[in-house]
Amino acid sequence: MAKKKKPAWLSILPGNLDPSRFTLDQLRNVKAAHAFLTEKIDGPPGFAEYLRAYRFLLFFGIVCVVENKYPAFTRCWKDLEKLFMGDPAFEDGIFVQSWALMDFPFGPERQTAVDYFEDFLEETEAGPGFQRFIDEARRSRLGLYQDAGRTKTVANFRELISGRTISAFPSVDHYEKGEILLSRAIRYGDHVFLWGDPKGFPKEMKGQIENMVRDKLFYFDDEETPEDQFEAFMKLAGPYWMSCTTKNEATPILDPDHYLTYLDRRA
């Protein structure tokens, strides 16, 4: 199983301060959050840029919830907060929050919080500095990545079902040969970061996991091809994966299309 690595560059909330006390007007002035968001961040090239941008995105999302700016997003955040954000399995502050911020399509044209964050930044001078992160965050999703060998500088993975290969910065201390990691991959140049603490499955579960996913692709049968169904599954079924990996045995397994409940589109 994957072991958690917690280097300094994975810290999300500096200073143990509550971002909910900021308003959107204050966030428009970058100096208002300067003490929280400009500390030195160690890590590989590009990571400081991405982590700082993610902190701004996270603060933006929390303020939107506090102000109930987007009711569907508020419903989503509060439900995930109740079910998972206090769970030790998700103590990285990234796995659950990233799905709500980057994947949940709550806008009238299926906009996510990242899209509204981009609009928000158009009113600031800081916008261009966040654009690379915004573009890659928008493209990112959860994936099921099987170890395909690593060196001191790169970890190679092949994704289950899609067969996609990635070369990632090796930020996980140790995992078994052939282990499968459930993680979000965000690209930076020729490499990617595994964003947050991955959830590990032994290689012996490969067939079981693949069959389970294929059996549930019908939830996204409005997509034209099995490949598109798989992409939608991994993009939209975040709460399902959270319910599969939670340490709280009382939490039920959620449907892959559970996100629709936040949109009031089904009972």
pLDDT of 97-116, one tens digit each? 999 999 999 999 999 999 99
**What's the rounded Cα separation, in Å, for the pair 214 and 264?**
27
Indicate the number of domains in the chain. Answer: 1
Structural domain that includes position 82: 8-139
Supply the Cα-derived Rg of the chain in whole angstroms: 18
Q: Is residue 94 part of a domain?
A: yes
What's 264's DSSP letter? T
Q: What is the pLDDT of residue 146?
A: 95
User: What are the start-end ranges of the H helices in the chain?
Assistant: 24-28, 34-37, 47-66, 71-80, 95-102, 113-121, 127-139, 206-215, 226-236, 238-245
Q: What is the percent of the chain with per-residue pLDDT over 70, rounded to a whole number? A: 82
DSSP 3-state helix, strand, coil percentages of the chain (rounded to 5)? 50, 15, 35
Q: Is residue 35 part of a domain?
A: yes
Q: Is residue 196 part of a domain?
A: no
Residue in 113, 137, 131 with CA at minimum distance from that of residue 64: 113
Q: Is 171 helix (H, G, I), strand (E, B) or coil?
A: coil
Q: Is residue 115 part of a domain?
A: yes
Q: What are phi and psi of 202, to 5 degrees?
A: -65, 155
Name the token pair of 236.
Answer: 């939209």
The letter for the amino acid at 125 is E
pTM of the model: 0.85
Where does the pLDDT of residue 36 fall: very low under 50, low under 70, confident under 90, or very high at 90 and above?
Answer: low
Residues in a beta bridge with 158: 146, 165
Q: Is residue 100 part of a domain?
A: yes
Where does the pLDDT of residue 143 fall: very low under 50, low under 70, confident under 90, or very high at 90 and above?
Answer: very high
Residues in a beta bridge with 192: 168, 187
pLDDT of 206-226, one tens digit each? 999 999 999 999 999 999 899
Q: Is residue 221 part of a domain?
A: no
Q: Is residue 156 part of a domain?
A: no
Largest separation between any pair of C-alpha atoms in the chain: 51
Q: Is residue 209 part of a domain?
A: no
Q: In whole numbers, what is the pLDDT of the chain averaged over residues?
A: 84
Name the token pair of 186.
Answer: 């965000």
**What's the rounded Cα separation, in Å, for the pair 56 and 130?**
9
